[in-house]
Structure 1
């Protein structure tokens, strides 16, 4: 039975479950209470109607008793007629001590046998009973009559139709059960109405929100209002959707991160292969390029035609360019193996300034506080020369400025007045073979080598805008251990 009910309620709506499991038991309890109350009220009404008839009989008892004692028939008839004229009375009967009827008012009269039985019962005093008088169901109240010496000399019987009592009780039942039905309908209506407003409506809105999310509106969230349980349900749904969205976002971030890692791994593998290739290329092409450059130099000394000399010079320039590219490939694919040592920052910058001046470029060096860093001087000089050369090539007329400051770390800036670097490609210029120069003017390895060297020394590099109008490269290096301890 329980499994059957479970299957029934599992497919029923919340409203039906509410009506069956809440409203129906409440109404059944109210019906039981009404039935018990109706029984009490019916008993009270029945006793009241019987008491009314008894009061009527007692009201005429004294005049009838006195008339019977005087044998005043006219007075007896008058009193009995007044008694019968009352609406509560169905019949009024007066019997003598032998059970013979003296006066009778009513549709039917009791039999002699009934009168004699009643006389016997009145020996113990007045009494009442339900009985049938010639097929009519009545309620009878009997009062014995006594003479002056206390001897019974008659009997007064007053009756009321049993149907009157039944009709009164039936009207009470119809009224009470009709009122119960009306109240039950009102309760059901109020229950359904309040369910729709307080529970059904908010639940339907939450269901609509779930369907919208299911249809693809992943940003939609349910409105949080209504009873506490409904609000908690809406908050739980919204929290679940937020958690799913965050999980999807994390999954997307992880996917992008995996793609980036895979791309970096591919680039690393490519660069590793490139390093191995460049080492072989250096051995294979270094000697032929030297031979080409040497032969072209000898031909320049032997030939006199200006056209031939220009072509030979172009050959030597391209050979030198190929040699430079090979050296950059070797430099990018090879990490510094020199043992780090303490370097004076100002001396390092002065050497870089002197070396770039040998190429015909002028650098403005602004002095700063004394600072020491740990690293390989040749690698750091190469990184500085690459940055200074790029700055000078970006603005051949100058100015190019180099300065530094010291706090918890060393901050070195190289600025120029050139066209600058577009923000959209600032994160790409440090990748190998990416260059802003025109084809044939750069290999795209200079800044990649700079970034590798800076990161090998525990630093970082950033591109910004210069006050001079061009690009500003900011290099940050940690202080050497000795100087760092002095700062602390």
Structure 2
């Protein structure tokens, strides 16, 4: 998938976040607002139900009180047979304004007197029987003259305490609903307003507290998806959003570090492959050089021996002696080349032992002194007598120092120098000359390559510094070259004072 696709997807999701309802907002509405609204609706419904039952019971109690209030005068009037008094007592209930009708029935359910709308006959109902049986009031809903009524029946007692009839007090059944209608409307209006306030509060609170910070985080992620891996999200907003931003930044840091590690690994792998190729090439060259050196060594010894014998025979004139001397000189040069090839190609089987720097360096100076005298060069030395002893292979170190001194001798104009110093960690031997110095167009790695030389053809094999580098690595040290401020070159061979050879370490 290309990078444009996720960027486009993130852009559309951000647009939905601004102009619609985001997934987080839908979750809040579904799991917070909706349950809260439903619970409040159930609470209001339950409360209205309780209020309705309370109001209905109150209205029923009012009818019962009215019936009890007129039952005594009605019963007394019945005992006296005064129907006019009965009708007056029945008519008095309308003064309260809550009664729709009132009637008096005998014990069989026949109506005796009435006022308003009531039942005309109760003989076909069980109400008279229940009143006679229980002696208590009864309640019933009925439909009279097309109207739904609620009736409360009470027994009427004579002077002897016997039931002589019953009284009915009615009111419209709709009165029970009308009493709570206004309260119900107000309650649901309040519930609707409360729900809208909750909805607006949740949405606005979410955007102000979380949404806008999530929006910023989405914009940061959009930049990262666009390829800007160096961008980092701001750590603002609630702790959870800040933690997400911190996690995003940590992930980007890890990705960036992984890219750097991968680049470094690739570079190291490239260098390793190049070194392996160079090593393979040098192994091949070394094998060939070792074979050539062995093939040339014996013939050169024979040529030098016979030339020396002719030189000592006494039968040669002066010109012939000069020719023989030239032969021996060229044989010597070839012999030195063969020796360098063998020194470079033979395995580095070091034999470490404790060495004194002063003794080692003085031995090397004595070995090269004839070449110094032949080249008319002076040697400046600065070798302290209190240099600490160290462990190394004397033969390999002498070979390295001889190559350094010989290079300095060949590059110098009048003098060379050798100095040594030590600290708590290493011994440093410096070999300097007053020649033209190192060429600026070649770096150290090039100068240390085998068979590379800045000398004219026929004047060097290019193995001297390579041999010194190999000996330094065998002893755990390193070789460095630098031009001096006053002219000339300085070679610095640094050797560790402890654990300095591979053999000793092993």
TM superposition score normalised by structure 1: 0.69
The worse-fitting range, judged by mean Cα deviation, of 228-237 and 470-479 is 228-237
Distance 1:428 1:403, change over 3 A: same
Cα contact 2:479–2:491 (8 A) shared by 1 = no
SS of the residue aligned with 1:364? Answer: strand
Q: Which has the higher contact order (CA 8 A, sep 6+)?
A: 2
Which residue of structure 2 aligns with residue 385 of structure 1? 402
Deviation at 1:111, TM superposition (A): 0.8
SS of the residue aligned with 1:362? Answer: strand
Q: Distance in 2 between matches of 1:110 and 1:466?
A: 136
Deviation at 1:346, TM superposition (A): 0.7
Deviation at 1:340, TM superposition (A): 4.9
SS of the residue aligned with 2:379? Answer: coil
Cα deviation digits, residues 115-174 of structure 1 (max 9, x gap): 997665544133322122223111112333444443556644322210121334555555
SS of the residue aligned with 1:49? Answer: helix
Which residue of structure 2 aligns with residue 6 of structure 1? none
Deviation at 1:25, TM superposition (A): 6.1
Distance 1:188 1:480, change over 3 A: closer
The worse-fitting range, judged by mean Cα deviation, of 320-329 and 217-226 is 320-329
Q: Distance in 2 between matches of 1:68 and 1:30?
A: 55
State whether structure 2 residue 72 is matched by structure 1 residue 44.
no
Which residue of structure 1 aligns with residue 478 of structure 2? 460
Distance 1:94 1:479, change over 3 A: closer
Cα deviation digits, residues 245-274 of structure 1 (max 9, x gap): 444444433333332222222112222222
Q: Distance in 1 between matches of 2:418 and 2:496?
A: 19
Which residue of structure 2 aligns with residue 475 of structure 1? 494
Q: Distance in 2 between matches of 1:231 and 1:88?
A: 68
Deviation at 1:37, TM superposition (A): 4.8
Q: How does 1:181-330 map to 2 (within 5 A)?
A: 181-190=192-201, 209-222=220-233, 237-282=248-293, 301=319, 328-330=340-342
SS of the residue aligned with 1:369? Answer: coil
Q: How does 1:85-484 map to 2 (within 5 A)?
A: 85-93=95-103, 99-102=110-113, 104=115, 106=116, 108-113=117-122, 121-123=130-132, 124-152=135-163, 155-168=166-179, 176=187, 179-190=190-201, 209-222=220-233, 237-282=248-293, 301=319, 328-335=340-347, 340=352, 342-354=354-366, 355=368, 357-358=372-373, 359=375, 360-388=377-405, 396=413, 400-405=417-422, 407=424, 409-414=426-431, 425-426=443-444, 429-432=447-450, 444-462=462-480, 471=490, 473-478=492-497
Cα contact 2:350–2:396 (8 A) shared by 1 = no
TM superposition score normalised by structure 2: 0.67
Residue segments in structure 2 that go unaligned for 5+ positions in a row = 1-21, 308-315, 321-325
Residue segments in structure 1 that go unaligned for 5+ positions in a row = 1-11, 303-312
SS of the residue aligned with 1:363? Answer: strand
Cα contact 1:222–1:237 (8 A) shared by 2 = yes
Cα contact 1:99–1:154 (8 A) shared by 2 = no
Cα contact 1:454–1:461 (8 A) shared by 2 = yes
Cα deviation digits, residues 26-81 of structure 1 (max 9, x gap): 66666556555544443223212222333344455566666777788887666655
Cα deviation digits, residues 253-296 of structure 1 (max 9, x gap): 333333222222211222222223334555778879x99xx9xx
SS of the residue aligned with 1:367? Answer: coil
Distance 1:337 1:54, change over 3 A: closer
Distance 1:165 1:300, change over 3 A: farther
Distance 1:159 1:398, change over 3 A: farther
The worse-fitting range, judged by mean Cα deviation, of 122-131 and 145-154 is 145-154
Cα contact 1:464–1:474 (8 A) shared by 2 = no
